[in-house]
C-alpha cells in the first residue's frame, strides 16, 4: 500500500500526515476494539502498539496476562471477515469495520493464527489498518515516526501532571426520599441500545458504536430546572432552542446519557462528568455545569468506561473489561449491590465479578457448576422479599458458579426509571431493581437487589436491551421480546395488560430489530423487514402528545409503520436525497431520530422545548424557513407553554448544517452531539469564557481549535494546531491554548 509523503523532521510537528497520526494514535491511545475469539464470541480488549512499534499488545480477561504478537510474525492484514473466527461469529453487518491480523504463532510451531477485530467506526478502522499494514510491509523508514512518538509520550507525561481532577464526589449526596422518587418515576429514559451503524448485534458492538471520535459539540434543549441541561442555569423550565454547552466546548465528548434530572457525560479520555440533580449524580450538590466525577477504582481495577446509561435517578457505566459500575439512588435496589443504600460514587457490581473466596468460604465450597451458558445461575437467591435488606454485598447471581472461570462479561447495559438491565457476552439477560409491573421479567413484581438472570430468555441469545419508564425490550437477531407495564399498549402486543414475562412482539417476528427505544408510554423500533428488503420505523403505545409521530391517532396497540420525511437535501450538493434512519431515541414523551446525513427529526411533547423546535412553531404544519428558528428561547417562553406538541416527525431546523452524530433523550430534555463545528456568530451574545457582552468595541473572535466565540482578551494567544494541519500559529481561546501545550 502506498504510503503518503514521508515525514520530515519529527519535531513534533511538521506535516502531521495520516500515517503519523495513525502511529501516534495506535501507540499512545490504547483503543478498545471488539475482538472475536475462537468460538466467535466477541469481547472488548484494549489494543495498543508498543512505543518501539515492535509488538501489538492487548488486555486479557485474565488480568495477569497481556497477550502480544510481534510485528515480525505478522503476515498480512485481511480486510473484512474472511477468517474462521469471523465466520463463526456471523456478524456480516460489521463487515466494513472488520479486519484480521494473520500471523505465525511461534509458540505453536509457527502455525498460522489470526487476531480478529472490529473497530467502532471508519476513522478508527483507517488508523489501525494503515498503521499495521505499513509495519507489516516494512517498506517505510520508521525513524522519524519513532522520534515523534517518543516526544509525544514525553509531552503527555508532562501534561498528565497538570490537568487533574478538581471536584470532589464524596459527601453525603444521595438521600433520596422515596416519595420524591415515586413522584418522579415517570421518567422513562432510554439509555438503550442499538448502534448507529447499519445493524448492531451482540450488545458489545452496539455499545462501542456509541462512541464517535468526531463528536464534539453538545447542544441541549428542554427541561433544565435542575441544571440537567448543563448550560449553567436552572432558570430553564423551557428551552426550545438548542443551547451549546460551553463548558464542554473543545472537549472530546464520546457519549451523553440523561436521567430524569441529571446527566452523565463520557469523555474520550475516560473522564466522567456529571451535572443536574444530586440524587442522580451522587455528587454532594446539584451542579449546573459539567463537573468531574472521580471514580475510585479498587486497586488493580483501573480500566476505562466505554458506555453510560442513566435511569431516572441512577447511573450505570460499562467498562471495557465487561464490568458494571452503578451509583445514585438505590431505593429499589437498582444499583445491584445487594442493598438499598444510595451510592455517592461509582461502585462495581460485585455480583458480576469473580470472587476468589476472600475470607471464609461463604458458599464457594466448590460447587463447580457446569457451563454458565447452559445452567441459568440465578435462582439461588433472588432476594425476592423486598423487605430483605440482603446482609452480604456479594450476593448470589453467580454464587452457584463461584469458581474463577465464572466471571460474567457484560457487553451491554440499559437503565429504566428504577431498574437496570445487562447482557453478557453469552447473550444472557440480567435485570435488577424495581419489579413494578413485572418489568424485570421474573414472573413477579418483586424488587431484585442483585442482578438476576431472566430465565425465560436463557436460551435466546439476547443482543440488545432497551428500557423505558417501566417497560423493557430484549432483542435477538430475529425476535423482539417485551415485558412490563402495558397500560398504553407500549409493549406492542395488541392488548393492554402488564406482562410479567417476556413476550414476542408478533408483528415483528422473524425480522431484525436494528434500533429499539422506549419512553414512558410509547416505544419506537427500527426494523429491517426482510420481505420489503428495507428498514421500517415502527411506533406503538400512547400517541397522546404525538410521541409516536402518528398524527391524530391517540394510541397504537400494535407496531405501526410511521410516515416521515426522509427525502432531505444533501449537505453538500443540496440535491434531494433519500436518507436512512440510523439512530432512534425516546424521552418520556418525545422521540428523536437521526438520519444518515446527520439531520435530527423530532416528534411528541414539546412542553419544555425538548424537541429543539421553537414552541411558537410547534403546531404549525410545515417547517418554517431554517434561519428564522434562531429566535431566542425567551421569546418562546412567553408563549403559552402548556400542551405544546408535534404529532409528526419534523426536522430540527436549528441543527441543520451541524451534522448530528449522536442523540440522548432525558425525561423531558434532549442533547445532540454534533460534529465539531464552528459556532455561529448568532449563537453568542457574550464571551464564552469571561461572559462580557459583545459590543461594537468588544468584538467576537473564533477560537480556531474549539470553534467557540470569545472576546479579544480571552483569545489573545496564538499557537500552531498540528492536528488540524495548521502549522502557523492561529488564534485560540485561553483554555485551548493551555490544552494544546502553550505556556
Ligand atoms: Zn472573554
Ligand atoms: Zn478554544
12 part of a folded domain? no
DSSP code for 313: S
> In the structure, what pLDDT confidence band is assigned to residue 572 with cuts at 50, 70 and 90?
low
Q: Tens digits of per-residue pLDDT, 56-81? A: 998 887 767 778 899 989 989 998 88
pTM score of the predicted model: 0.64
More confident residue, 14 or 218: 218
300 part of a folded domain? yes
Percentage of the residues of the chain whose pLDDT score is greater than 70: 78
Alpha carbons 603 and 612: distance in angstroms, whole number: 10
Q: Ligand 2 centre from 249 Cα, in Å?
A: 7
The CATH number that applies at residue 67 is 2.30.29.30
More confident residue, 157 or 438: 438
Question: Could you tell me whether strands 419-424 and 410-415 are parallel, antiparallel, or unpaired per DSSP bridges?
Answer: antiparallel
Please indicate, yes or no, whether residues 652 and 695 belong to a single structural domain of this protein: no
Q: Tens digits of per-residue pLDDT, 529-538? A: 989 888 999 9
> In the structure, what pLDDT confidence band is assigned to residue 302 with cuts at 50, 70 and 90?
confident
Please tell me whether residue 652 adopts helix, strand or coil conformation. Answer: coil
Best CA proximity match to 671, nearest among 181, 273, 168, 197: 273
Q: What is the pLDDT of residue 367?
A: 35
373 part of a folded domain? no
Tell me the ligand closest to 708's alpha carbon: 2
Domain boundary among 675, 693, 717: 675
> In the structure, what pLDDT confidence band is assigned to residue 677 with cuts at 50, 70 and 90?
low
Q: What is the pLDDT of residue 449?
A: 97
77 contacts 133 by C-beta, under 8 angstroms: yes
Identify the weakest region by mean pLDDT among 162-176, 390-404, 627-641. 162-176
291 part of a folded domain? yes
More confident residue, 348 or 122: 348
Q: Ligand 2 centre from 117 Cα, in Å?
A: 35
Percentage of the residues of the chain whose pLDDT score is greater than 90: 41
Tell me the ligand closest to 248's alpha carbon: 2
432 part of a folded domain? yes
Domain boundary among 675, 700, 720: 675
Alpha carbons 567 and 649: distance in angstroms, whole number: 13
Please indicate, yes or no, whether residues 711 and 729 belong to a single structural domain of this protein: yes
Q: In whole numbers, what is the pLDDT of the chain averaged over residues? A: 78
What region does 269 belong to: left with phi over 0, alpha with psi -120 to 50, or beta?
alpha
First to last CA, the chain: 40
3-state SS record for 448-504: EEEEEECHHHCCCCCCEEEECCCEEEEECCCCEEEEECCCCCCCCCCCCCCEEEEEE
Q: What is the pLDDT of residue 209?
A: 30
Please indicate, yes or no, whether residues 730 and 692 belong to a single structural domain of this protein: yes
> In the structure, what pLDDT confidence band is assigned to residue 597 with cuts at 50, 70 and 90?
confident
CA quadruple 669, 675, 678, 680: dihedral sign: negative
More confident residue, 44 or 326: 326
- The C-alpha cell that represents 549 in the structure block: 409521530
Q: What is the pLDDT of residue 210?
A: 30
Domain boundary among 675, 699, 726: 675
Please indicate, yes or no, whether residues 201 and 233 belong to a single structural domain of this protein: yes
Q: Ligand 2 centre from 715 Cα, in Å?
A: 8
DSSP code for 340: -
Please indicate, yes or no, whether residues 468 and 532 belong to a single structural domain of this protein: yes
Q: What is the pLDDT of residue 617?
A: 52
More confident residue, 51 or 511: 511
Whether residue 516 has pLDDT greater than 70: yes
Please indicate, yes or no, whether residues 137 and 251 belong to a single structural domain of this protein: no
Q: Ligand 1 centre from 72 Cα, in Å?
A: 53
Alpha carbons 618 and 520: distance in angstroms, whole number: 21
Q: Ligand 2 centre from 306 Cα, in Å?
A: 26
The CATH number that applies at residue 699 is 3.30.40.10
Residues 662, 664, 669, 672: what is their CA dihedral angle, to the nearest 10 degrees? -10
> In the structure, what pLDDT confidence band is assigned to residue 159 with cuts at 50, 70 and 90?
low
Please indicate, yes or no, whether residues 546 and 631 belong to a single structural domain of this protein: yes
The stretch 631-636 carries a mean pLDDT of 37
Please indicate, yes or no, whether residues 148 and 206 belong to a single structural domain of this protein: no
Look at the chain and report how many structural domains it folds into: 3
Tell me the ligand closest to 699's alpha carbon: 1
Domain containing 29 equals 18-159
Best CA proximity match to 555, nearest among 566, 564, 545: 545
> In the structure, what pLDDT confidence band is assigned to residue 351 with cuts at 50, 70 and 90?
very high
Q: Tens digits of per-residue pLDDT, 352-398? A: 885 344 333 333 333 333 333 333 333 333 333 333 333 333 333 43
Residues 510, 511, 517, 518: what is their CA dihedral angle, to the nearest 10 degrees? -30
Q: What is the pLDDT of residue 675?
A: 80
457 part of a folded domain? yes
Best CA proximity match to 525, nearest among 552, 556, 554: 556
Please indicate, yes or no, whether residues 635 and 499 belong to a single structural domain of this protein: yes
Q: Ligand 1 centre from 690 Cα, in Å?
A: 4
Q: Ligand 2 centre from 714 Cα, in Å?
A: 9
239 contacts 230 by C-beta, under 8 angstroms: no
398 part of a folded domain? no
Q: What is the pLDDT of residue 293?
A: 86
Alpha carbons 347 and 578: distance in angstroms, whole number: 45
Cβ neighbours of 689 (radius 10 Å):
19
Please indicate, yes or no, whether residues 153 and 56 belong to a single structural domain of this protein: yes
Q: What is the pLDDT of residue 442?
A: 97
Please indicate, yes or no, whether residues 618 and 635 belong to a single structural domain of this protein: yes
Identify the weakest region by mean pLDDT among 194-208, 221-235, 399-413, 430-444. 194-208
Alpha carbons 215 and 403: distance in angstroms, whole number: 41
Please indicate, yes or no, whether residues 641 and 542 belong to a single structural domain of this protein: yes
Residues 509, 558, 610, 535: what is their CA dihedral angle, to the nearest 10 degrees? 40
3-state SS record for 199-252: CCCCHHHHHHCCCCCCEEEEEEEECCCCCCCCCCCCCCCCCCCCEECHHHCCCC
Q: Ligand 1 centre from 153 Cα, in Å?
A: 32
More confident residue, 630 or 512: 512
Q: Ligand 2 centre from 690 Cα, in Å?
A: 13
Q: Ligand 2 centre from 723 Cα, in Å?
A: 14
The stretch 433-440 carries a mean pLDDT of 97
Whether residue 627 has pLDDT greater than 80: no
623 part of a folded domain? yes
Amino acid at each position: 500500500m502506498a504510503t503518503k509523503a514521508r515525514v520530515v523532521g519529527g519535531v513534533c510537528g511538521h506535516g502531521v500526515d495520516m500515517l503519523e497520526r495513525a502511529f501516534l494514535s495506535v501507540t499512545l491511545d490504547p483503543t478498545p476494539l471488539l475482538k472475536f475469539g475462537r468460538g466467535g464470541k466477541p469481547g472488548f480488549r484494549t489494543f495498543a502498539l508498543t512505543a518501539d512499534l515492535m509488538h501489538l499488545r492487548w488486555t486479557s480477561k485474565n488480568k495477569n496476562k497481556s497477550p502480544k504478537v510481534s510485528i515480525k510474525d505478522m503476515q498480512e492484514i485481511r480486510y473484512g471477515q474472511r477468517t474462521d473466527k469471523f465466520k463463526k461469529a456471523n456478524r456480516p453487518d460489521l463487515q466494513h469495520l472488520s479486519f484480521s491480523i494473520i500471523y505465525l504463532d511461534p509458540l505453536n510451531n509457527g502455525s498460522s493464527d489470526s487476531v480478529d477485530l472490529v473497530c467502532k467506526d471508519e476513522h478508527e478502522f483507517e488508523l489501525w489498518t494503515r498503521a499495521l499494514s505499513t509495519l507489516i510491509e516494512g517498506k517505510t523508514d520508521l525513524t522519524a515516526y519513532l522520534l515523534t512518538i517518543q516526544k509525544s509520550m514525553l509531552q503527555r507525561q508532562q501534561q498528565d501532571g497538570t490537568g487533574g481532577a478538581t471536584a470532589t464526589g464524596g459527601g453525603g449526596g444521595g438521600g433520596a426520599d422515596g416519595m420524591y422518587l415515586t413522584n418522579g418515576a415517570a421518567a422513562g429514559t432510554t439509555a438503550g441500545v442499538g448502534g448507529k451503524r447499519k445493524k448492531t448485534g451482540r450488545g458489545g458492538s452496539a455499545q462501542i458504536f456509541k462512541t464517535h471520535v468526531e463528536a464534539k459539540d453538545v447542544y441541549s434543549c428542554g427541561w433544565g430546572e435542575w441544571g440537567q441541561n448543563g448550560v449553567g442555569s436552572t432558570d430553564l423550565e423551557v428551552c426550545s432552542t438548542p443551547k451549546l454547552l460551553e463548558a464542554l466546548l473543545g472537549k472530546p465528548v464520546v457519549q451523553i446519557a440523561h436521567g430524569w434530572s441529571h446527566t452523565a457525560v463520557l469523555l474520550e479520555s475516560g473522564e466522567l462528568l456529571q451535572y443536574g440533580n444530586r440524587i442522580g449524580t451522587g455528587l454532594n450538590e446539584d451542579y449546573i455545569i459539567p463537573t468531574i466525577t472521580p471514580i475510585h477504582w479498587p486497586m488493580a481495577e483501573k480500566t476505562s468506561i466505554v458506555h453510560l446509561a442513566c435511569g431516572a435517578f441512577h447511573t450505570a457505566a460499562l467498562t471495557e473489561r465487561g464490568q458494571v459500575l452503578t451509583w445514585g439512588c438505590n431505593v429499589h435496589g437498582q444499583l445491584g449491590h445487594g442493598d438499598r443504600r444510595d451510592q455517592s460514587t461509582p461502585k462495581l457490581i460485585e455480583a458480576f465479578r469473580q470472587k476468589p473466596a476472600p475470607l471464609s468460604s461463604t458458599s464457594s465450597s466448590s460447587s463447580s457448576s457446569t457451563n454458565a451458558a447452559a445452567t441459568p445461575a440465578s435462582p439461588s437467591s433472588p432476594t425476592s422479599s423486598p423487605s430483605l435488606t440482603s446482609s452480604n454485598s456479594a450476593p448470589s447471581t453467580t454464587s452457584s458458579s463461584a469458581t474463577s472461570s465464572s466471571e460474567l462479561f457484560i457487553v451491554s447495559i440499559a437503565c429504566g426509571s428504577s431498574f437496570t438491565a445487562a447482557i453478557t457476552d453469552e447473550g444472557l439477560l440480567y435485570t435488577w431493581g424495581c419489579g413494578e409491573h413485572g418489568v424485570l421479567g421474573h414472573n413477579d413484581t418483586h424488587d431484585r437487589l442483585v442482578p438476576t438472570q431472566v430465565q425465560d430468555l436463557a436460551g435466546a441469545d439476547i443482543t440488545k436491551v432497551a428500557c423505558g419508564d417501566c417497560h423493557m425490550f430484549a432483542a435477538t437477531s430475529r425476535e423482539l421480546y417485551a415485558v412490563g407495564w402495558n397500560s398504553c399498549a407500549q409493549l406492542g402486543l395488541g392488548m393492554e395488560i402488564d406482562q410479567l414475562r417476556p413476550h414476542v412482539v408478533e408483528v415483528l417476528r422473524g425480522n431484525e430489530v436494528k434500533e429499539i427505544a422506549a419512553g414512558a408510554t410509547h416505544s419506537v423500533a427500527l426494523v429491517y423487514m426482510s420481505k420489503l428488503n428495507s428498514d421500517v420505523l415502527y411506533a406503538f403505545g400512547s400517541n397522546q402528545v404525538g410521541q409516536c409521530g402518528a398524527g391524530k391517532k391517540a394510541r397504537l396497540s400494535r407496531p405501526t409503520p410511521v410516515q416521515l420525511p426522509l427525502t432531505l437535501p444533501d449537505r453538500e450538493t443540496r440535491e434531494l436525497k433519500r436518507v436512512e434512519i440510523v439512530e432512534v431515541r425516546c424521552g418520556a414523551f418525545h422521540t428523536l431520530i437521526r438520519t444518515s446525513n446527520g439531520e435530527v427529526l423530532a416528534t411528541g411533547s414539546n412542553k419544555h422545548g425538548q424537541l429543539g423546535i421553537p414552541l411558537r412553531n410547534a403546531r404549525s404544519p410545515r417547517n418554517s424557513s431554517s434561519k428564522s428558528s434562531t429566535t431566542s428561547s425567551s421569546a418562546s417562553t412567553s408563549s403559552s407553554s402548556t400542551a405544546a406538541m408535534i404529532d409528526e416527525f419534523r426536522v430540527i431546523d436549528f441543527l441543520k448544517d451541524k451534522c448530528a452524530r449522536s442523540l440522548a433523550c432525558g425525561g423531558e430534555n434532549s442533547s445532540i452531539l454534533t460534529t465539531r463545528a464552528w459556532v455561529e456568530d448568532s449563537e453568542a451574545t457574550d464571551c464564552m469564557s469571561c461572559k462580557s457582552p459583545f459590543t461594537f468595541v468588544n468584538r467576537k473572535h473564533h477560537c480556531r481549535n474549539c470553534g467557540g466565540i470569545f472576546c479579544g482578551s480571552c483569545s489573545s494567544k496564538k499557537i500552531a494546531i498540528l492536528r488540524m494541519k495548521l502549522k502557523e500559529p492561529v488564534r485560540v481561546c485561553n483554555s485551548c491554548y493551555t490544552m494544546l501545550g502553550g505556556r
